[in-house]
Amino acid sequence: MSVQTAVMGVSGYTGAELIRLLSRHPRLQGAAPMLLARAESAGGVVGALHPGMDDALGTGRLPVEPFAWETLAAHGVHVLFLATPHESSRELAPEAVERGLRVIDLSGAWRLEQDGNRAVYGFRDEDPVRMAAAQKAAVYGMPELHRAEICGARLVANPGCYATAAILAMKPLLAAGVVDRDGGLICDAKSGVSGAGKTPTATTHFMHAGENLSAYGLFTHRHVGELLEQLDVEREAMTFTPHLLPIARGILATSYLRLQKPMTQQQVDAIFAEFYAGSPMVRLREAALPEIQHVVRTNYCDIGWKVSAEGRRVVVVSCLDNLLKGASGQAVQNLNVMMGWGEAEGLA
């Protein structure tokens, strides 16, 4: 089957990574992704936005066309990737689905099922009934947790980068029922500056971020709701603290869990091995703790852990590239699952 993809929102880091991955995907050869932008930003070629796209494949010469539903229909687009702001994705995704497209949205517009968690985005839906129906149909796009649902989904909500690192680290032990939830869960996570997007701010420009390490978003970060819903824990049980690292890309998350009863390193090893059997984008390092340099520019999430001497505490370290497994790479992984292709095709 020939699949035509389209990317709406090509100027940012995630849009650029999507274009690179889709242009080289072995299943999409001969069907270059269609690149779209708002009318005022369209025109020209993508190489003008991202000079690194100029390659032997001609990727840099792909035109950036004005977004229009008629244009997508004329090009026979099957799958629409939305690398757009949350509010734009909230507007575009329902109509895309109604028009027969399958959507993979990289924003936070559709990740959260509960109104209380979604309130952090401040959406003001003009048609709440329509939006509620779209939200109910949306599938959280983490293949390691929801592979079967993603396969038949019309709307996939790509997870947040921090959320991916934290959820993949903690989910196996929580799912196995061995965590003392009353003891609380702590995740201390650090991300490269690209996680904040392409537009610089007072805290992300070089003079502030360089040679610095800072915490932010305590108790208020947008990804907390994803942790609560996907890990099935109460808000008061979760402490998540993000930090800004003075590097371009990569996330390292350290999660602290207390066990209900003493366990050995080998017992915990077995839980992770069983949970991630058949998940090609997760590499288990066990007691050899992962590092950002081992995952940057890959779609892997590396996970390592250590059980304390008394067997009641576990520290789990997870690493990923925030622009790939934390964004565009995971979006392509979701495409593979939706299409019934090998999950790691075009990624490993």
Q: How far apart are the first and last CA of the chain?
A: 22
> What 3-state DSSP class applies to 345?
coil
In DSSP terms, 211 is beta-bridged to none
H/E stretch holding 301: strand 301-307
Q: Cβ contacts of residue 297 below 8 Å, gap of 6+? A: 249, 321, 324
H/E stretch holding 336: helix 328-339
Query: How far, rounded to the nearest angstrom, does the alpha carbon of residue 119 sit from its chain's CA centroid?
Result: 20
Two structure tokens written together for 262: 């003493």
Distance CA 93, CA 137 (A): 11
Radius of gyration of the chain (CA): 20
The one catalytic residue among 151, 161, 187, 301: 161
> What 3-state DSSP class applies to 348?
coil
Distance CA 81, CA 97 (A): 12
Distance CA 233, CA 163 (A): 14
> Is the Cα dihedral 293, 296, 298, 301 positive or negative?
positive
Please say if 161 is a catalytic residue. yes
| Cα within 13 Å of Cα(313), Cβ side | 9
Enumerate the active-site residues. 161
